[in-house]
Amino acid sequence: MEMKNKSAGIRVQLNQAEKMRKYLSEKKLLRNDLKISKNNAFIFFPVKEIPNELNPYNFVKKEFEKKVIKPKSYKEIGLIPEKLKHELPTSYDVIGDIILIKLPNNLLKYQKEIGKSLLKSNKNIRTVCSIKPVTGEFRTRNITVIAGESRTTTTHKEYGLKLNVNIKNTYFSPRLAAERKRVAELVKPGEIIVDLFTGVAPFSIMIAKYADPKIIYAIDKNKEAVLFAKQNIKKNNVLNKIEVINADAKEIHDILEKKADRIIMNLPFSAHLFFTYALKIAKTHTIIHYYDILKENKIEDKTDKLKKIAEENRYVLTNLDVRKIKTYAPREFYIRIDITAKKMPM
Ligand SMILES: C[S@@+](CC[C@H](N)C(=O)[O-])C[C@H]1O[C@@H](n2cnc3c(N)ncnc32)[C@H](O)[C@@H]1O
């Protein structure tokens, strides 16, 4: 897009700038789409037309930089009562061309209006959905399309990956993109990796694209997620690096013949229930990327619990590196813990 525009302008010395600016604004002659510019001696005002009463010596024709005009926020568009506007969420997720927004109960009766406003203020969006928190074993959500095309499938792009998702019956969070990239950058050539709760396989595909593992086993119990994972692996040309398995993570040690150098456990709230099973497929030295949603004061309890489970399985956990990735609720965080699990000598 052209960032400059030739326009008529008025040139004045710097010490005259404020007086001229006031004069031009009062006369409504200033161009709002172009930026005022200056050099060491002069300031240049882009104008719609040259007023007759000014000294022609000050007239110029020059390139002015275009102003970046921010699109209106969705809060400014639409017919939501003024007194409720402060309750409109300031953020929402965007997955592909779908917006997912969590609305407070007293705004639900305006959800269609809110959806339309979001469509108007976001050019690349085709569908707006109102969502409830993720629930159940497969971490899926109750979703209502409130504006735009009536569909829940889309293609999301992150770091050059293209991921097909059905936001209704598979889990996907766009907010973990940087975390997935971080993990991919830690992977060493030739590693065997197990992605225990793969969903539509974003971790596995990111690793296959940006690292050089020997093989990644991508496991999920949700049949629908596995279908999308398979599609996505093909779509991103990493068929030779990832094997998708539709199974319960608790049974994976019976299915896999190989042991893992690295295990990804992205199942907040419940991952600890699978820690024993993860250790069953660990080598004598394995890295585990463990994800959870925890209140700040519960983090230590959780790491103690994991250490205890490890001990029962003759492993010791070292280098526990705990980081908050994002806020989940007030004082509650999406946490990642990088763990090194080492087998105790016999
Ligand atoms: C929070 S999602 C994570 C998905 C994916 N890793 C991502 O980052 O988008 C957790 C996934 O674990 C799967 N899951 C839940 N219980 C499982 C189990 N017992 N065995 C295997 N997968 C399971 C769910 O179906 C869901 O896809």
Q: How is 133-201 classified by DSSP, letter by letter?
A: --BTTTTB--EEEEEESS--EEEEEETTEEEEEETTTS---GGGHHHHHHHHHHPPTT-EEEETT-TT-
Separation of CA 222 and ligand 1 centre (Å): 7
| Ligand 1 proximity of 249 Cβ (cutoff 6 Å) | yes
Positions in the chain short of pLDDT 50: none
User: Which tokens in the block code for residue 243?
Assistant: 């094997």
Mean of per-residue pLDDT scores for the chain: 93
pTM check: above 0.85: no
CATH code of the domain covering residue 50: 3.30.70.2580
- The domain total for the chain is 3
CA distance 35 to 3: 11
Task: Looking at the structure, tell me whether residues 190 and 267 fall in a common domain.
Answer: yes
User: Which tokens in the block code for residue 28?
Assistant: 């409504």
| Ligand 1 proximity of 221 Cβ (cutoff 6 Å) | yes
Would you call 253 helix, strand, or coil by DSSP? helix
Separation of CA 199 and ligand 1 centre (Å): 5
Question: Is 158 within the bounds of a domain?
Answer: no
Would you call 324 helix, strand, or coil by DSSP? strand
Task: Looking at the structure, tell me whether residues 29 and 110 fall in a common domain.
Answer: no
pLDDT digits (tens, 9 = 90+) for 132-186: 888 888 898 889 999 999 999 999 999 999 999 999 999 999 999 999 999 999 9
| Ligand 1 proximity of 267 Cβ (cutoff 6 Å) | yes
| Ligand 1 proximity of 220 Cβ (cutoff 6 Å) | yes
Q: List the beta bridge partners of residue 339.
A: 288
Contacts of 338 (CB under 8 A, 6+ apart): 287, 288, 289, 290, 319, 320, 321, 323
CA distance 17 to 14: 5
CATH code of the domain covering residue 127: 3.30.300.110
Query: 211 — phi, psi (to 5°)?
Result: -135, -175
Question: Is 327 within the bounds of a domain?
Answer: yes
pLDDT at 70: 66
pLDDT at 166: 97
| Ligand 1 proximity of 225 Cβ (cutoff 6 Å) | yes
| Ligand 1 proximity of 137 Cβ (cutoff 6 Å) | yes
Domain assignment of residue 11, given as a range: 4-65
pLDDT at 21: 93
Task: Looking at the structure, tell me whether residues 189 and 326 fall in a common domain.
Answer: yes
Question: Is 338 within the bounds of a domain?
Answer: yes
C-alpha distance from residue 319 to each of 10, 84, 185, 335, 337 (Å): 65, 48, 18, 16, 10
Separation of CA 225 and ligand 1 centre (Å): 8
